[in-house]
Chains A and B, each alone.
Chain A
Amino acid sequence: MKLTDYEKAMYDGEHGRAKARAMDLLVRYGEALGAERLVETNNVAGAFNASTPSVQPIAEKGMEHVYSELNLDSDEVVEVPHMVAHTCQLITGIDNDNWELQGVDKSLVDMQRKNEKFLGRRGVNMFATCTPYQVGNVPVKGEHCAWMESSAVIYCNSVLGARTNVEGKESTGAAALTGRIPYWGFHITENRRGTHLVELDIEVDDMMDWGLLGYYIGEVIGEDIPVLKGTSHQPDLVKLKHFGAAAASSGGVEMYHIPGITPEADTIEEAFGGRKVKDTFRYGAAERREAYEKLQSATEKKVDFIMLGCPHNSIDQVALIAHMLENRKIHPDVQLWVHTPRAIKQVAERNGYLDAIKEAGGVVMSDTCPAISRRLPQGTRVIATDSAKQAHYLPAITGVEGWFGSVRDCVDAALTGQWNGRA
């Protein structure tokens, strides 16, 4: 792999041991990919947190050990300097306020807080959300990024037109300290063009419609790049957040085009950019139904737990839930958790949404989600969620039964204790 003089100097240790170890990882990784060079990045979103029992033995030796081992793949324990790239922390395993409700051991909470102090001083911004683009990290078109979190990567590439591959804990750790990432995959223009045409035969309008469409497409095309034709309604941040998260869960979609809406293509032709169309398929009522049925893994109508906010909710989503719960009480046998970034939670508090949800018996959580933390209210057997991603992962990870539906169906289940959702 070709390195610039500056990169070579970092590799040779002229800028300190941490950068030398970071460059070593980036060179090994770049060569594994077959990349010819690195590219500069000033936008890193990674997982630096220490919040699981498996990290505890390493964290007890000191937070430098955690970063060296888990974020740099380095046997040598290095002193961690300030990050050179703008860097943020994605979702973590522990809600710093509601950890008792999650059933987290106090020693793990202390570890996460200690680690946050260590990282915060070094420039890792504690967004603690899977949606950094909702709380201030909105890369511009063409910006080279190094992001983890599949639902954020697909949003970054497709909706914002910025460029990132699905990075990992070690590559983001190295990118944050060097401002470099392998120039490969979605950093290269030719690799961003469409591969499949999806013709929509039905209206796709509300959030549930978009989630189902994404879930269907991901299952059909795996990791290819869909181009949508025939969209009936203008989507917004929330709908595309759900569409992308679903497509990245059932498949591995990291990029899509909606000509006229997403920034890299005004027309179908531009979306394919001369690339041969691998396949064309239609999405109609039968396909929507198929996606809906695949997302249901429950048979028991009596629900215990309603999970809303995956990916983390926008303020409008929190407002809608608060409105639906106003002056009502959720069923005594049901727990309702609503997930939103901490920064948005603060707005929700000032608006009174938090009180409305609390008074109805629900909880607003931040920093985490049940799939990442693997923590649900005790005794949960049947869940309901408005997120295709959570309906896909949570039953597989925790063994619960899951219902998927609209936010209205989920709130109705919270109030009645019964699932009455409809496709």
Chain B
Amino acid sequence: MDIVTEAKPETIVLKGRKVVAGRAEGEALVTSETISGWGGINERTGTVIERRHEMRGVSFAGKILVFPGAKGSSGWSAYFHMTRLNGVQPQAMIFTRMTTKIALGAVVTRVPAITELDQDPLSVIETGDWVVIDADAGTVTVTKKKSA
């Protein structure tokens, strides 16, 4: 289903479950690939470093990170924890697959986080869209970027 229409900016509201409380807004950074913490990101720059990752070299610092979730080592939370201490954490996390890695990681990164959305965020949200996440209300409001 392609709900994006041309020209006019469009707003879509998704409903989901709070993982970490809070509200944030910003530009979306969307990847269809899970992210590794230990061995997958540079915790000083917030950049994905995994070889063959579609986001390799891209920083999630200050972005609304939209992704399937976590993979890899049990050091996931510790590495995202360090991004917060270094001030390069994402502003919020929207994800689709719950695991202990992503749950603990979102908690210690201390950013609003949401999952179990009623539409697939990975297909509804595109990189560059403006996203308002209100985790307590369980809503994600997406304003599509203007098409060029």
Expressed in whole angstroms, the minimum distance between the Cβ of B34 and any Cβ of chain A is: 8
- Stretch from B6-14, B71-79, B139-147 at the A interface: B71-79
Within 8 A of A (CB), among B90-141: 98-101, 103-108, 110, 113
* Main DSSP-derived SS at the A contact region: helix
Q: Given the interface contacts A54-B43, A165-B100, does A28 sit within 8 Å of B107 by beta carbon?
A: yes
* Beta-carbon contact of B75 and A170 below 8 Å: no
Contact indicator A33/B98 (Cβ below 8 Å) = yes
| A33 neighbours in B (Cβ, 8 Å) | 98, 100, 103
Cα separation A166 to B100 with both chains bound (whole Å): 6
Bound Cα distance from A395 to B49, whole angstroms: 12
Chain A residues whose C-beta falls within 8 Å of the C-beta of B76 in the assembled complex = 168
Please indicate the chain A residues that have their CB under 8 angstroms from the CB of B106 in the complex: 32
In the complex formed, the residue of B with least CB distance to A166 is B74
Is B64 an interface residue when CB atoms closer than 8 A count as contact? Answer: no
Please state if A28 and B20 are interface contacts (CB–CB under 8 Å).
yes
Q: Is B50 an interface residue (CB 8 A)?
A: yes
Docked-complex contact A168 and B100, CB < 8 angstroms: yes
Interface range for A? 20 to 34
Q: Does A240 contact B (CB under 8 A)?
A: no
- Residues of A near B82 (CB, < 8 A) are 54
Report chain B residues within 8 Å CB of A252: 71-72, 99
Q: When the two chains form their complex, are residues B74 and A168 in contact, meaning their CB atoms are under 8 A apart?
A: yes
Question: Which single member of B98, B104, B113 contacts A170 (CB below 8 Å)?
Answer: B104
Residues A150 and B74 in contact in the complex (CB < 8 Å), given A28-B20, A33-B100, A169-B81: yes
**What are the residues of chain B within 8 A of A54 when measuring CB–CB?**
43-44, 82
Residues of chain B within 8 A of A29, CB atoms compared: 103-104, 107
**Closest-CB distance, A75 to chain B (whole angstroms):** 10
Q: Smallest distance from the beta carbon of B29 to chain A beta carbons, Å?
A: 21
What's the minimum C-beta distance from B8 to chain A, rounded to whole angstroms? Answer: 37
For the complex, what is the distance from the CA of A150 to the CA of B38, rounded to whole Å? 12
Count of chain B residues with a beta carbon within 8 Å of a chain A beta carbon: 31
A209 within 8 A of B: no
Contact B72 A167 (CB under 8 A): no
B20 and chain A: residue at smallest CB distance: A32
Contacts of A118 in B (CB 8 A): none
Distance of A28 Cα from B44 Cα, bound (Å):
25
Interface members, chain A 2-35 (any B CB < 8 Å): 25, 28-29, 32-34
Please pick, from A32, A34, A396, the residue contacting B104 in the complex, using a CB distance under 8 A: A32
Residues of A near B85 (CB, < 8 A) are 69
Report yes or no: B78 in contact with A169, Cβ–Cβ below 8 A.
yes
Complexed CA–CA distance, A315 and B108 (Å): 39
A223 and B51 CA atoms in complex are apart in Å by 20
Whether A393 contacts B74 in the complex (CB less than 8 A), given A28-B107, A34-B17, A73-B107, comes out as no
Q: A29-B104, A170-B81 are in contact. Are A396 and B75 (CB under 8 A)?
A: no
Q: How far is the CA of A153 from the CA of B100 in the complex (A)?
A: 13
Closest B residue to A172 by beta carbon equals B74
Q: Which residues of the partner chain A approach B108 to less than 8 Å between Cβ atoms?
A: 25, 73, 168, 170
Chain B residues engaging chain A, CB cutoff 8 angstroms: 17, 19-20, 39, 43-44, 50-51, 71-78, 81-82, 85, 98-101, 103-108, 110, 113
- Chain A to chain B contacts (Cβ below 8 Å), 20 pairs: A32-B104, A32-B106, A32-B107, A32-B113, A47-B75, A69-B85, A148-B74, A149-B74, A166-B74, A167-B104, A168-B75, A168-B104, A168-B108, A170-B104, A171-B104, A182-B100, A185-B100, A252-B71, A252-B72, A396-B50
Interface residues of A (CB under 8 A from B): 25, 28-29, 32-34, 47, 54, 69-70, 73, 148-150, 153, 165-171, 182, 184-185, 223, 252, 371, 393, 395-397
